[in-house]
Chain A
Amino acid sequence: MIRVTRLTKSFLMKGGRRRVLRDLSFEVPSGSNLAIIGGEASGKSTLVNLIGGVDYPDRGKIRRAGTISWPFGQMRYERSMTLSQNLRFLCRVQGVRDFDDIQQQVHELTGFEREFGNPVEMLRQPEQRLLNVALSLSFSFDIMLLDGKPSFNNLPNKERFEEKMAEKMSQSSIILATGKPKEIGREYAYILVLDGQSGRLYDNRRDAIQAFKASVDNRPVTVDNNQSKTVDTPPVTEGGNVRGIRN
């Protein structure tokens, strides 16, 4: 279950304060998948970060039940520590007792062997990308956050990753943020369309995509600039409140 109530989020930028979400409210029941669709700079990633608790709203509440992942593939490491030490840290933070199991899963996906004992800084760029994806697939959460549909095309053992991904998708509910309607399959029961100001929740795919297309067409590029100048938002000092559990 995810319940978002009157969520407002703005960013302080050079030209002034830019509001990405205003008074957004919606609720998605437990066990169903949610797709968030919107044009560029409509706040998709921001909303994913807010739901995931890695960013904080100016106002409004987000309530969720169950454990929630970090945004898919986005993990940072302590580069001077070995991969095993990094994994163990992550397990402790996530409350996963079975460290060996996680390491085994990462090993199966990436084929890493000696890399576990080496500092993370010794990993090359593609290996680190591989590790990011594998790590997201090795932990289990009730809700899984995807900021953009992950693509496994460039990875070795593409099939194994896709298999694992399908398994995760069957176990947890998914929140996917995307700008492409064709990435939203039948498995998404709810679709939230963001138009750069606020959003609307649809439970019908065709209506949602129509609304998305309309919002993209109707949004001239200049709207953003005007708004950041005319809307005089006082700096928000009161604390936004992310209710729910620090899990």
Chain B
Amino acid sequence: MVTREQQFGHRVRSALAVQSGVVFALAVREMYRKFGAYKLGVVWALIEPIMMILVFMLIFGARGRGEFGFIDPPLFILASFLPFKVLFTQSLQNVNTSGRGIGAFKALRQVSLFDLMLARILLTSVTALLSLVVISLGLAWVGYDPVPDRLIETLAGLALIMLFGFGLGIIFCVLGSFAKEMDKITGLINLPLLFLSAVFFPMTIVPEPFRTYLSYNPLVHPMEMIREMWFSHYTSPVLDLRYYGIWLVCLWALAMACYRLRWRQIVAA
């Protein structure tokens, strides 16, 4: 039998070694590219989401409205805005704009479009998790109890909503290669989605029949899941993970099909 080494030579790495090296290199590069010019440098990767969450806490939380039930307003904001504004919206945006970023790697055969998307997702997720930890520490210091009641399930909910943004980002990226106007549409859908996805209110305060209408929106389900897992005394009236799972699988099938048909044109453009 011919070994791999005899066939390709000793310097050839396995596909997995190449890809993991590339994704790590890209993630580091993306970080420097975005934040390298600032005085505080890559620390901004953390400060940015933290500042955003803090501002939302001030705007919505300080009013101390009663509709959150017995969930403390700052915790509610953290459990809603971090998944939606960082994990969903930013994943979507970062993957969507990957098509424009890939041109810089024309000479590097190792770097594929998907690697760049993966690297950006990795960076977004890691910064989201780190800022979650930092904000939680801050809240604990002030006297709240920021630890989710069911930690693993909460993290799974965060991963689920990130995957939705990732898949949708791939589809938008492919559509954007047909018409640049797609950027305008992605900009437009963000705000309505914020209102329709049970971000700053729990589904318990939505009356029927709107509760049923809203629960057709797949994004409601991971948001409610995170809430339910984070605060054990909250029970969502609409949570249906099966429904969301079907959405996710179909979305990713479509995303992968789109990507496969179109990545050459995106890279060549």
Contact = CB atoms under 8 A, between A and B. Distances in A.
A114 B37 CA distance: 18
Interface stretch (B21-29, B77-85, B128-136, B208-216): B21-29
Given A93-B22, A246-B15, A71 B107 contact: yes
Given A53-B109, A93-B25, A142 B9 contact: yes
A237 B107 contact: no
A147 to B, nearest CB: 11
Contacts, number: 89
Contact of B110 (A65, A78, A247): A247
Contacts of A55: 268
Contacts of B245: none
A221 interface: no
A245 B8 contact: yes
B109 A65 contact: no
Contact of A66 (B9, B19, B24): B9
A53 B18 CA distance: 14
Interface residues of B, number: 34
B60 interface: no
B239 to A, nearest CB: 40
A247 B110 CA distance: 6
B264 A65 contact: no
Interface residues of A, number: 31
B108 interface: yes
B260 to A, nearest CB: 8
Main secondary structure of the interface of A (DSSP, over half): loop
Contacts of A225: none
A203 to B, nearest CB: 23
A80 interface: yes
Nearest to A56: B264
Contact of B13 (A75, A76, A85, A247): A247
A81 B8 contact: no
Nearest to B14: A245
B36 interface: yes
Contacts of B25: 89, 92-93
Contact of A81 (B9, B24, B36, B106): B36
Contact of A52 (B15, B22, B109): B109
Contacts of B261: 237
Interface in B92-119: 103-111
A47 to B, nearest CB: 15
Contacts of B106: 54, 74, 76
B243 interface: no
A76 B101 CA distance: 12
B107 A76 contact: yes
Contact of B9 (A53, A67, A78, A90): A67
Nearest to A142: B9
A95 interface: yes
Contact of B33 (A56, A75, A80, A239): A80
Given A54-B106, A93-B108, A246-B19, A80 B37 contact: yes
A246 B109 contact: yes
Contacts of B268: 55
A93 B111 contact: yes
A81 B29 contact: yes
Given A71-B107, A245-B12, 16 more contacts: A53-B109, A54-B106, A55-B268, A65-B9, A65-B12, A75-B107, A76-B103, A78-B29, A78-B32, A85-B29, A85-B32, A85-B36, A92-B24, A93-B21, A93-B108, A247-B18
Interface of A: 52-56, 65-68, 70-71, 74-76, 78, 80-81, 85, 89-90, 92-95, 119, 142, 237, 239, 245-247
14 contacts: A54-B107, A65-B8, A65-B12, A67-B12, A74-B106, A80-B32, A89-B28, A92-B21, A92-B22, A92-B24, A93-B108, A95-B21, A142-B11, A246-B109
Closest 8 CB pairs of A and B: A92-B25, A53-B109, A66-B9, A70-B107, A247-B12, A67-B11, A74-B107, A89-B29
